[in-house]
Amino acid sequence: MTLISYADFHARSLAERDAFWAEQARRIDWQTPPQQVCDVSRPPFARWFVGGTTNLCHNAVDRHAAKRPDDPALIWVSTEVGQERVYSFAELQAEVETLAAILVAQGVGQGDRVLIYMPMIPEAAFAMLACARIGAIHSVVFGGFASVSLASRIDDAAPKLIISADAGSRGGKVVAYKPLLDEAITLAAHKPARVLMVDRGLAAFTPVAGRDLDYGALRTAHHGQRVPVAWLESNSISYTLYTSGTTGKPKGVQRDVGGYAVALATSMDYIFGGKPGETYFSTSDIGWVVGHSYIIYGPLIAGMATLMYEGLPINPDAGIWWSLVEKYGVTVMFSAPTAVRVLKKHDASLLKRHDLSSLRALFLAGEPLDEPTARWIAEALGVPIVDNYWQTETGWPLLTVANHIPGVAPVSTRFGSPGMPMYGYGVKLLDESTGEELTAPNQKGVLVIEHPLPPGALQTVWGDDARFVSTYWSSVPGRQVYSTFDWGMRDADGYTFILGRTDDVINVAGHRLGTREIEECISGHAAVAEVAVVGVADQLKGQVALAFAVPREMPATPEAARALEAQVMKRVDEQLGAVARPSRVLFVSVLPKTRSGKLLRRALQAVAEGRDPGDLTTLDDPGALAQVTTLLRG
């Protein structure tokens, strides 16, 4: 059989868009077939599989439970509490229907929001799938998020009900969720009618009378009840997921039902090569988009067992992940470069103790994958290491290699590059100033996607269509294109390389953080007059936040400076969470600015990374950057 090139396959997915995606739509069950593949009548908005009715929970659970009820569906392993549970598709369906019955009894219905603030436990998966089953819109907030950040999400989503747990655990340290949640509800203007609590017995708590419900008791009361799926029009909202932006207000990425199901089903086949009956292991968290797409929905839609892990990659030792690969016959694994860099510090022989013959590939995403890390893990595992690049907004990989497409020639990976544009994505590199397309090799430009975004990408920003248009589609002069806000470069063979952000979002160990959000938090401290936060390259985490603050009164001694720094760090912890904590807060008398008053964050970043800060002729005070340089050297 003659194989076509991937470039030709990709071109066909764009030139014959509707025919291509109509083929992919056959991968899922529809109660009513779509009447139109793609409605692009109101750019930059797009509606996929218009008129079709389907359900995410049915496609992820019910259809497999009907044919393979005893096959494993959800494997939960917690090295934090020393427990493992395996749920078959039939058992998973029963648990999901039980939780759906609880939600219905509390008046939750189609279109209502349910906020999920939970650790990595099976009930979190049940909650997401139960919402999908009845047509409620779930909004998962990463467990342990600080109260102020959680409150802002409660106000934006306005949930009828919140599902939470007494506590999570990380590295053996219990993190009590209930006090954080109670404080967030106190701070929020919107007050949810009910809070459904899962009591793990990790942290004692006092229920709020008239509001808090006991999941254990209600599970007993509703167990065995059948709850039919709600057949939803393809463009109904499945969930919102908040991602940091360049302002303090988080963006609620809004995703549909039908397009998302089709996109995930296709990616599980073409990109990951997953098959029914196999096991998929993503080491992410359900609070992030990877957890939504490739812990919960993607593997289950593909009929695979999904392995959900609570714990660190080095507990009880740095071989724990590989022991799970061996025990459960994991065929496809998804992790992050940061995690691999952590493992690289430990004894490599730990990987050799286990039979990894079932594993076909390790996929990595979240932040740029450096070549030494890629080579180390490739040699250690002896399987392909596949980098991939995407965003909360896209929902599935934008750049990678798809080597499981029938009739299409395989594409080799290239260290340093996540790969090539995936089918359905009209990716271009544009000049930031003119909007001109850059077609020659090795030119640096803004990575953009042409309208329409493919199935599975965000529909809009929750409750704010204007922000969707102004944020994503209006940044390149003369062009209405979706900006990824990343610089990119393409080599002569078509491989794309990501060169960093064009905006003020940084990537810390795969977590996207808005530097402006951190700045607003720090500037709220009474002793701080002005602040600049930049992302600085870090060998382990990819980037870390570094803060430069102008105090209202310069600390008189190094001890006083350290005390003030500790106060500022504590404020960030309390308002944004430990993930947003800067690596350092350095106090300066003045920040480098242009004569027009523009803060030179890029110059600060360059100096912090030991690079040439570039042209400084526009500096209002040349001594400002010199002060920073001296401080960093000290």
Domain extent at residue 570: 505-633
Instruction: For residues 558 and 488, state if they share a domain.
Output: no
Whose tokens are 């190094």? That residue is 558
Q: Is residue 585 part of a domain?
A: yes
The answer to which of 216-220, 226-230, 466-470, 557-561 has the lowest mean pLDDT is: 557-561
> Residue 216: which H helix or E strand, with range?
helix 215-222
**pLDDT for 60-103, tens place per residue?**
999 999 999 999 999 999 999 999 999 999 999 999 999 999 99
Cα separation, 56 vs 48, in Å, equals 15
pLDDT of residue 372: 80
Torsion of the alpha carbons at 567, 568, 572 and 574, rounded to the nearest 10: 20
For residue 344, pLDDT beyond 70: yes
Identify the band that residue 507 occupies on the pLDDT scale cut at 50, 70 and 90: confident
Q: In the chain, how many domains are there?
A: 2
The answer to which of 9-13, 135-139, 475-479, 480-484 has the lowest mean pLDDT is: 475-479
Cα separation, 587 vs 77, in Å, equals 44
For residue 402, pLDDT beyond 90: yes
Q: Is residue 326 part of a domain?
A: no
Instruction: For residues 535 and 474, state if they share a domain.
Output: no
Q: Is residue 560 part of a domain?
A: yes
Whose tokens are 């569906």? That residue is 73
> Is 548 or 161 the better-scoring residue by pLDDT?
161
Cα separation, 149 vs 248, in Å, equals 10
Whose tokens are 């008046």? That residue is 107
Q: How many C-beta atoms lie closer than 10 Å to residue 557's C-beta?
A: 8
Q: Is residue 512 part of a domain?
A: yes
CATH number of the domain at 553, please: 3.30.300.30
Q: Is residue 367 part of a domain?
A: no
pLDDT of residue 598: 56
Instruction: For residues 434 and 550, state if they share a domain.
Output: no
CB of 254 within 8 A of CB of 458?
yes
pLDDT of residue 610: 82
Q: Is residue 116 part of a domain?
A: no
Instruction: For residues 473 and 456, state if they share a domain.
Output: yes
Instruction: For residues 515 and 582, state if they share a domain.
Output: yes
- Please say which residue of 501, 527, 544 terminates a domain: 501
- Please say which residue of 482, 501, 520 terminates a domain: 501
pTM, two decimal places:
0.85
* DSSP three-state, residue 616: coil
Q: What percent of the chain has a predicted confidence (pLDDT) above 90? A: 72
Instruction: For residues 497 and 511, state if they share a domain.
Output: no
Q: Is residue 556 part of a domain?
A: yes
Over range 217-244, report the average pLDDT. 96
pLDDT of residue 580: 85
Q: Is residue 261 part of a domain?
A: no
Instruction: For residues 538 and 607, state if they share a domain.
Output: yes
The tokens for 577 are 């969470």
Alpha-carbon 551 to chain mean position: 35
The tokens for 451 are 């309208």
**pLDDT for 122-150, tens place per residue?**
999 999 999 999 999 999 998 878 898 89
Instruction: For residues 442 and 550, state if they share a domain.
Output: no
pLDDT of residue 349: 86
pLDDT of residue 151: 94
CB of 200 within 8 A of CB of 165?
yes
Cα separation, 372 vs 381, in Å, equals 14
CATH number of the domain at 436, please: 2.30.38.10
- Please say which residue of 446, 476, 501 terminates a domain: 501
Instruction: For residues 521 and 550, state if they share a domain.
Output: yes
Identify the band that residue 248 occupies on the pLDDT scale cut at 50, 70 and 90: low
Instruction: For residues 606 and 546, state if they share a domain.
Output: yes
Identify the band that residue 596 occupies on the pLDDT scale cut at 50, 70 and 90: very low
Instruction: For residues 591 and 521, state if they share a domain.
Output: yes
Identify the band that residue 609 occupies on the pLDDT scale cut at 50, 70 and 90: confident
Instruction: For residues 568 and 599, state if they share a domain.
Output: yes
CB of 377 within 8 A of CB of 321?
no
